[in-house]
Structure formats: structure tokens, C-alpha cells
């Protein structure tokens, strides 16, 4: 069965800490995405990647960076965590091609204190 795995289900960090959220997919997908989900706002795209070492900004990239050194792994980095980054973070992947469905991980609930 296809799988997108996010390393942590819950994470608690302190303001100013550097935070790494990891995502691994086993489907050999080219495209990978990071979304954040907030009540009443739905999902908002932070960053995405079409290929190894390639990245594109989404709609809300401020305060975040990403890394994709291997095809199967896409990391989201909060350089200096702030309380307004408390959120649910969802990773997704899809194969190349318009209109292909996204496969989502189960999410990481990040709390920044």
C-alpha cells in the first residue's frame, strides 16, 4: 500500500528553536508538498518540490524553508519557531501529471510554546 510517512505525530517546541519536520514517501513520486492546516482556513501551501534539489514557494512560505536531497524525502524547516507557527502540518506527494491525486501523510501537530 502506498505510504507517506511523517516522522512525528505530535511535537512541542519552544519559541526560537529550529524545528525539522520530516516526510518520506515510498511511491517514487516526483512532486512533494507541505501544507499547514488551521481551523477555518483549510489547507495552505507552504512549499513544494518538483524534483530533487528543486523547490518552489507556495502561498505562505515566510518563516519556513525546505530541503529535498533525496527523491523520497522532503523536509520542512522552521528556522526560528514562533507561536504563530503552531499548527497541523501535512505532507503530500503525487506523481507527475496534471490532476493526479495527492497522497497525504497523517500530519504533525506542532505546538510552539
11 binds another protein (CB under 8 A): no
106 binds another protein (CB under 8 A): yes
| Residue 111 DSSP class | E
d(CA 107, CA 58): 18
Closest CA to 49 of 64, 69, 63: 69
For another protein, which stretch binds (CB under 8 A), given 13-21, 41-49, 69-77, 79-87?
Answer: 41-49
Number of residues counted as binding another protein (CB under 8 A): 26
Candidates 19, 21, 24, 31; binder of another protein (CB under 8 A) is 31
Amino acid at each position: 500500500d502506498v505510504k507517506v510517512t511523517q516522522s512525528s505525530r505530535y511535537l512541542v517546541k519552544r519559541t526560537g528553536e529550529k524545528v525539522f519536520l520530516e516526510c518520506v514517501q515510498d511511491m517514487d513520486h516526483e512532486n512533494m508538498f507541505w501544507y499547514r492546516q488551521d481551523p477555518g482556513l483549510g489547507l495552505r501551501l507552504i512549499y513544494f518540490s518538483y524534483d530533487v534539489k528543486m523547490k518552489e514557494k507556495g502561498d505562505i512560505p515566510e518563516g519556513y524553508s525546505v530541503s529535498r536531497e533525496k527523491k523520497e524525502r522532503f523536509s520542512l524547516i522552521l528556522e526560528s519557531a514562533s507561536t504563530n507557527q503552531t499548527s497541523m502540518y501535512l505532507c503530500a506527494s503525487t506523481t507527475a501529471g496534471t490532476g493526479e491525486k495527492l497522497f497525504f501523510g497523517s500530519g504533525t501537530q506542532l505546538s510552539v510554546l
